[in-house]
A and B are shown apart, each in its own frame.
Chain A
Amino acid sequence: MPRLPALTLRIVVLAALFPAAYGQAPDKFERETDVKASAVPEPARRWLADAFESLRSPRWSREIYESGYSYEAKFRWRSQYYSVEFGPDGAIQDVEVETEFTDLPASVQRNVLDYLSSAYRRHDIRRVQVQYSGEPDDLEDFFDENERDDLIVRYEIEYTAKIDSGPGHYREGLFDEAGRHLQSRRVILPPVDNLIF
């Protein structure tokens, strides 16, 4: 068996152990369960009521992932779908707003498409969310007064990607405000045999 040069071997091992280091995060693992509003920390409910004053009853869930858990409120507001994430203590983490890819700034679209074209043989964008994060007061001001100071904007984009001759798979990518690729990971879906056989 041919021996790999030490440096190459080290890179392979590091890449396998730390996929995020080269822009490929591990497969997505999240577990989401619905919870009643009363089970959500009070600061989360209060922040949501302040930022989205006319909002009635969002759907609350608890999302468990590798390193902890968070609370999430999902709702439709002014014809757009929102997903607001809070920490275990109810502190706001980020707000995601679903949008059309063609509604993103032209330079962002161009950078995202450049990345997808260079990384994959074929791709198809399925879902786009603009992700806003920052200080709780800044986030609140953005949604109730449309002031966008000191907010971090990122784009979470779900797409199908084909690298080789296989059928391809679903991926979720995170891009910065300019549309530069930060990381992406494969989305693992449950089997569909009961639906197609």
Chain B
Amino acid sequence: MNRARPLLIALLLLSPVANCAEFFTGLFPEAAITRRLENGRSLTFKVEHQQIAYDRDDDPRGQFTRYRTDWMAFYGAKISPSNSVAVGVFHRIQGGENANRFIQQFASVMRLRRMRLAHRVRTDQTFTDGEDVELRLRYRLAAELPLSGTSLEPGENYLMVSNEPIFSLQSGDFEIENRLVLGVGRLLSRDQKLEVSIDHRTDKYIQDGFRHRLWLKVGYFMSF
């Protein structure tokens, strides 16, 4: 119960803001598998699926429908023990709006006294049929805090919080999105993590149609 409390509090805090805009919520399973290669190189495959459980608007999407599934592959290289770069490709399956994307990122993970703090700067270019290319710049700050002791060991739980503003440009229109994630995780073994989190996404700050998306996220991460 103690572990679930932060998630319940986040749900309660976020639910009122959803009253004044487009809002839908649902389940968001994700899984990433990383194969470590020689000299700090790595290959990562990731899949994310968003399943709507409740859509407040009277929308043809209806309830309990698939929203989108994203497939990603990254080739990464560590440039120092704390810094890495990666390039990736992405394919989105979404009714009538399938898309492809190129991704470039730089990440830096700092070891602080009681937590790890990760900075990630990403640029991407999205190609959707019948639309102009969308260019985005993203910055994510994520913190991982062990719930016992000062370092995370196998079998121990941690708190994870992150925020990511995303700036996009498409057809000359500028837009902003924000993603706030709060969750708990467990380091299952030296190579595996399981996370349950609340992912609150807001977008269309500039254009019409401001909306909230609230996801219950379950993530599995493995690297070997």
Contact = CB atoms under 8 A, between A and B. Distances in A.
A126 to B, nearest CB: 7
A38 B140 CA distance: 40
Contact of A194 (B38, B39, B185): B185
Contact of A193 (B149, B154, B223): B223
Contacts of A114: none
Contacts of A33: 148-149, 156
Interface string B65-76: 000000010100
Contacts of B74: 197
A188 B107 CA distance: 19
A168 B193 contact: no
A2 interface: no
A45 interface: no
Interface in B36-93: 38-40, 44, 46, 72, 74, 77-82, 84, 86
Interface string A136-171: 000000000000000000000000101001111110
Contacts of A169: 81
B32 interface: yes
Nearest to B40: A167
Given A30-B153, A31-B153, A167-B81, A193 B113 contact: no
B167 interface: no
A162 to B, nearest CB: 8
Given A165-B39, A167-B78, A196-B118, A190 B148 contact: no
23 contacts: A30-B151, A30-B153, A34-B149, A61-B148, A61-B150, A160-B80, A167-B40, A167-B77, A167-B78, A170-B81, A190-B152, A190-B190, A191-B34, A191-B191, A191-B221, A191-B223, A193-B44, A193-B193, A193-B223, A194-B160, A196-B84, A197-B32, A197-B34
